[in-house]
Structure 1
Amino acid sequence: MKKGILLVNLGSPDSPNPKDVKTYLGEFLMDERVIDVPLWARNLLVKGIILNTRPKASAKAYQKIWWEEGSPLIVLSERLQAKVQRQVDFPVALAMRYGSMTIREGLQELVDKGVEDVLLIPLYPQYAMATTETILVLAEEIRQAYFPKLNITDLKPFYNNPDYIKVLANSIAKHLEGKDYEHLLFSYHGVPERHIRKSDITKSHCNPKPSGDCQCCKTPSPAHEFCYKHQCVEVTRLVGEKLNMEEGTYSTSFQSRLGFDPWLRPYTDRTIERFGKEGMKKMAIVTPAFVSDCLETLEEIAMEGEEIFHEVGGKDFTTIPCLNDSDEWVALLAKWINEWATAEMAPV
């Protein structure tokens, strides 16, 4: 069977215009794996409240980070796709979970090239309902409806893959070289605490704590295969070990919460504020839940986060870019693709 690759990232509005932002937010927030409440409640919350208040503010945020070429996340993902394509012998397509670059279109592009066997790569290191799971569920629905003869295999979360940890650690070390900082904060996209409990296949292991110090994350369990928080904590731990960082000089936090339900803690904005109030003058921050820089990294962290730090007395705020289309990251993706293809082609 002819093989092909589909890279899938989150997505973006077509423009920073409030109308386009509203359309994008509507699709994103109406996903039952993003806001996991009954449909009537989701309709009331999203269509009755959020879409009448949030698009203008979000549009202003997008306008701050929008590039001449377009949305940074889209542009960076396209650069990644192009570089990966040059290193593998299989067609590589790009799609987004939300927005106009749909998964159906990505699969159609591959099918039109004669592809029968697809490696779907969700561009998220960790597993979560609102990222990996929603991509895989939608891809399977599309396959059944439009491409029933297509075979799709997905790349599993790679948060603890030694090669990924090496690439991430090298990227962090490169961007911190020559920098003087007191603390490195690993900021991950937040999710509601209930998502962690819902993803717990044991139904008894995961128990997020308000302090953020969840012992269940450190206790081996089958639940960790789908536990977003455990996987985030592991990335921090493994990178800290790889870089020989001293205990207390790095930590984990979670950003981008929405609504009033408890989300994973500690919260990034409050952590940054606390650091400054405690007298910290120089900090660095990295966002390993994302492989491509986007609104959450370029505006929420690099702009709002720095502003918070300066307001409470901090001075130097170093933001480390995502892996984006770095050569090491491209080479690693190409390696995984070639390993998949080789295994698939090997005699049974």
Structure 2
Amino acid sequence: MTEKHNQVGVLLVNLGTPEAPTSQSVKAFLSEFLHDHRVVDLTRWLWCPLLHGVILPIRSPKVAKLYQSIWMEEGSPLMVYAKRQQKALAEQVSAPVALGMTYGNPSIAQGLDELQAKGCDKVLVLPLYPQYSATTTAAVFDKVAKSLKGRPVIPALRYVNHYHDHPLYQAALAQSVKQHWQAHGKGDLLLCSYHGIPQRFADNGDPYPRHCEQTTSLLQAELGLADKEIMMTYQSRFGREEWLKPYTDKTLETLPSKGVKTLDIMTPAFSADCLETLEEIAEQCRDTFLEAGGERFRFIPCLNDDEAHIHLMASLVAQHTQGW
């Protein structure tokens, strides 16, 4: 194969997913995920025995059952949508597009190998995290650096740090809400639920909560909503320490008593539907809201491979590869 010269490639990155909805696959995935210092920064001699002796044996079978409830015919929802995003983006840009997951397969190293095999000596890394966090975006950068260590030739690299305030991202979010309202009517409240991080991380300088607040504020302006018509919360907390507040589940317990009977809920921090959106929000949180006296709970899907979302990605690629 004759390599092309001056070829730009795009590495599309998301968190990753188990390869099957089984305890064994989930355990392998969670082990890699929860070993990352970016995700859990506890001292290893304290964390590893707890992880392998208690958490993985107990959580893996439970999480496997949750994955079974959302598994699609083609596989894990996150991977199904990631492949659709990859295919759609490749049709929009004049560059090879490879997938790489921070944890699991295809790995970031495999994605870089694929681009190298296509002659790419310049790579744009596009983590599909609109809001920057050390727990997600920085973890991608760590994995890229680690995967390049020891290679005789490394590509020129550029990274997309965040895009929560990009006009096309905001337009895509707003369009998804408007389409939902056109189909189902407008609810009493639009709730934006973001994946949480420990409060301690934010106190140490992680800009993630500020990015989430900006996302919500810009979306509110895009939709022309009053303050009482939109709010934001944080989901998916793990462990006993304090995480970013307000918590999604606790908020849902109180909304019906405050007059919110019809709730529209979306997850702007997720670029593809996955366990945290399809099971935690669309199933668990739905039950919480209805049991508290709510009447209608309407989940607005992630942007996934929506045309407006792919248009945003293509714009990011064009913007960040200028001069290449």
Give the TM-score of the pair, scaled to structure 2. Answer: 0.95
Rounded Cα–Cα distance in structure 1 between residues aligned with 2:319 and 2:244: 35
Q: Which residue of 2 aligns with 1:180?
A: 186
Rounded Cα–Cα distance in structure 1 between residues aligned with 2:53 and 2:152: 36
Rounded Cα–Cα distance in structure 2 between residues aligned with 1:145 and 1:172: 47
Q: Which residue of 2 aligns with 1:223?
A: none
Check if 1:260 corresponds to 2:240. yes
| Secondary structure of the structure 2 residue equivalent to 1:242 | helix
Q: Which residue of 1 aligns with 2:306?
A: 326
- 8 A contact 2:122–2:156 mirrored in 1: yes
User: Which letter maps to 2:17?
Assistant: S
Q: Which residue of 1 aligns with 2:200?
A: 194
CA separation of 1:191 and 1:46: change in aligned 2, threshold 3 A: same
- Offset from partner CA, 1:106-155 (integer Å, 9 cap, x none): 00000001100000000000111110000001101212333643111101
Q: Which residue of 2 aligns with 1:150?
A: 155
User: Which letter maps to 1:180?
Assistant: K
Q: Which residue of 2 aligns with 1:308?
A: 288
Among 4, 22, 26, the residue aligned to 1:21: 26
User: Which letter maps to 2:296?
Assistant: D
Q: Which residue of 1 aligns with 2:132?
A: 127
- Offset from partner CA, 1:292-339 (integer Å, 9 cap, x none): 000000000000011111111111101001110000111121122123
- 8 A contact 1:255–1:267 mirrored in 2: yes
Q: Which residue of 1 aligns with 2:3?
A: none
Q: Which residue of 2 aligns with 1:274?
A: 254
Deviates more, 1:265-274 or 1:33-42: 33-42
CA separation of 1:145 and 1:176: change in aligned 2, threshold 3 A: farther
Among 72, 83, 89, the residue aligned to 1:78: 83
| Secondary structure of the structure 1 residue equivalent to 2:246 | coil
Rounded Cα–Cα distance in structure 1 between residues aligned with 2:120 and 2:187: 49
Q: Which residue of 2 aligns with 1:344?
A: 323
User: Which letter maps to 1:120?
Assistant: V
- 8 A contact 1:279–1:313 mirrored in 2: no
Rounded Cα–Cα distance in structure 1 between residues aligned with 2:147 and 2:153: 9
Among 33, 48, 59, the residue aligned to 1:54: 59
| Secondary structure of the structure 2 residue equivalent to 1:126 | coil
User: Which letter maps to 2:190?
Assistant: L
Q: Which residue of 2 aligns with 1:209?
A: none
Gaps of 5+ in 2: 1-5
Equivalent residues in 2 for 1:104-123 (5 A)? 104-123=109-128
CA separation of 1:147 and 1:293: change in aligned 2, threshold 3 A: farther
Q: Which residue of 1 aligns with 2:104?
A: 99
Q: Which residue of 2 aligns with 1:221?
A: none
Q: Which residue of 2 aligns with 1:243?
A: 223
- 8 A contact 1:124–1:132 mirrored in 2: yes
- 8 A contact 2:137–2:161 mirrored in 1: no
Among 276, 294, 306, the residue aligned to 1:296: 276
- Offset from partner CA, 1:227-260 (integer Å, 9 cap, x none): 0000001100000011100111111100000000
- 8 A contact 2:158–2:320 mirrored in 1: no
- 8 A contact 1:5–1:93 mirrored in 2: yes
Gaps of 5+ in 1: 201-225
Rounded Cα–Cα distance in structure 1 between residues aligned with 2:234 and 2:266: 11
- Offset from partner CA, 1:146-182 (integer Å, 9 cap, x none): 3643111101200111221112111221122241310
**How far apart are 1:278 and its partner, in Å?**
3.2
Give the TM-score of the pair, scaled to structure 1. Answer: 0.89
Segments of 4+ moved more than 3 angstroms? none
